[in-house]
Structure 1
Amino acid sequence: MAKQLDYHLIHEIFTRFRAAEPEPKGELEHINAYTLLVAVALSAQATDAGVNRATRALFQIVDTPEKMLALGEDGLTEHIKTIGLYRQKAKNVMKLSRILVDLYGGQVPSSRAALQALPGVGRKTANVVLNMWFRQPAQAVDTHIFRIGNRTGIAPGRDVVAVERAIEDNIPAEFQQHAHHWLILHGRYICTARKPRCPDCLIRDLCPFEEKTL
């Protein structure tokens, strides 16, 4: 775990991220808040690309919880059977769809507590929906962000909640909305787990990681 970087270095890091990609986007394909929620719930222990392959046809016919309930668990299972843990995920999607219809008029709530109360929706999923759809500066910490936060010293922490809090505390407010997207994309394509692409990294001169690749 790297030592916490100071404010000025973090500001410079995110200034560079913003200059390179002013409006970073999540890679999960979706149509509305509901399909985003479903896609993120399906993405646990799966790749975004794998989820997108499974949901493209699904979301053409199902884009509301009412339509999901009409499709039924067996119909959903047939669409997502290429995704890991698909049987349990199908059950959770059906349950959360029923709750959305019964309690929220078919709408996705904009409250973290309400989202986390849905079956199969954890803090990370809730934060992705809050950030991407409701434009709240929520920080969804996945394995990439956990690694980057600790490797660079931007947001060190021993668990995902600690890293989430460090992001909220340490990254300037002007970067909060897009912070988790910049970090995810950086971790997915540049600062990879086994062999980071340090020569291609736009913050390599600011990063304290000692095992840089040449």
Structure 2
Amino acid sequence: MDRIQRQELFARLRAANPEPTTELAYASTFQLLIAVILSAQATDKSVNLATRQLFADAPTPQAILALGESGLIPYLNRIGLYQGKTRNILATCRQLLEQHGGEVPHSRTALEALPGVGRKTANVVLNTAFGEATIAVDTHIFRVANRTGLAPGKTPLAVERELLQAVPEEFLHAAHHWLILHGRYVCKARKPDCRRCSIADLCAYPEKTGAPPASPPR
């Protein structure tokens, strides 16, 4: 995909959704961090169902830590891998209180030092909470980047690096959200909805499902 096609791709995604954001529900940077930790191998819908009551009852690191493992598990036990996530969240709350005054640090190094926080989670927090132009490559972005030819790569990190080079600067901050939403609702894993795809004519995927005829860039 060349520079003109990339510009057109993101111009169309922006026209359809000018201000994209995460579908995770949260009211503070801390709550966003917890929600993203929980979202690994789980849907945003399932996370929101769990955190709605959790954040109402325990909205801060102090409050979640006070629940302890036995008190936290009932909120999370419908989420995949909830036992490990419960331990990581409690350890993260403890570390936030002991090392960061209860605040989420604005630093990739400090974020990735928190239990349960890897590069993808740190990228989401840096982008959504702190406004940095980062791209968190989940399964949706990995699929869209490779299928379309926007930023092919064999690993999430390779795709992330390609995207940071490929995405035009004016679209870089919101690219993360546009690509996730496109992969979640249109360029789906088993059956991409190419007839409904606004960028089908720009896409290099050879197995389009009834895509409309290609049209030249505007």
Same fold? TM cut 0.5: yes
Q: Could you say which residue in structure 2 is the equivalent of 1:154? A: 150
For 1:156 and 1:172, locate their aligned partners in 2 and report how far apart those are by CA, in whole Å.
Answer: 16
Q: Which of 20, 33, 37 matches 1:37?
A: 33
- Deviations for 1:83-133, whole angstroms, at most 9, x for unmatched residues? 011111000000000000000000000111110111010100010011110
2:73 aligned partner, one-letter code:
T
Q: Which of 133, 137, 161 matches 2:133?
A: 137
Equivalent residues in 2 for 1:170-181, closer than 5 Å = 170-181=166-177
Query: Aligned-pair RMSD on alpha carbons?
Result: 0.7
Equivalent residues in 2 for 1:65-80, closer than 5 Å = 65-80=61-76
For 2:105 and 2:139, locate their aligned partners in 1 and report how far apart those are by CA, in whole Å.
Answer: 26
Q: Could you say which residue in structure 2 is the equivalent of 1:111? A: 107
- Return the offset for 1:67: 1.1
* Residues matched between the structures, number: 210
Q: Could you say which residue in structure 1 is the equivalent of 2:77? A: 81
For 2:33 and 2:204, locate their aligned partners in 1 and report how far apart those are by CA, in whole Å.
Answer: 36
2:151 aligned partner, one-letter code:
A
For 1:191 and 1:85, locate their aligned partners in 2 and report how far apart those are by CA, in whole Å.
Answer: 26
Equivalent residues in 2 for 1:1-214, closer than 5 Å = 5-214=1-210
Unaligned 5+ segments in structure 2 are 211-218
User: 2:201 aligns to what SS in structure 1?
Assistant: coil
User: 1:205 aligns to what SS in structure 2?
Assistant: helix
For 1:183 and 1:138, locate their aligned partners in 2 and report how far apart those are by CA, in whole Å.
Answer: 13
Q: TM-score, normalised by structure 2?
A: 0.95
Dislocated runs of 4+, deviation >4 Å: none
Q: Percent identity?
A: 56
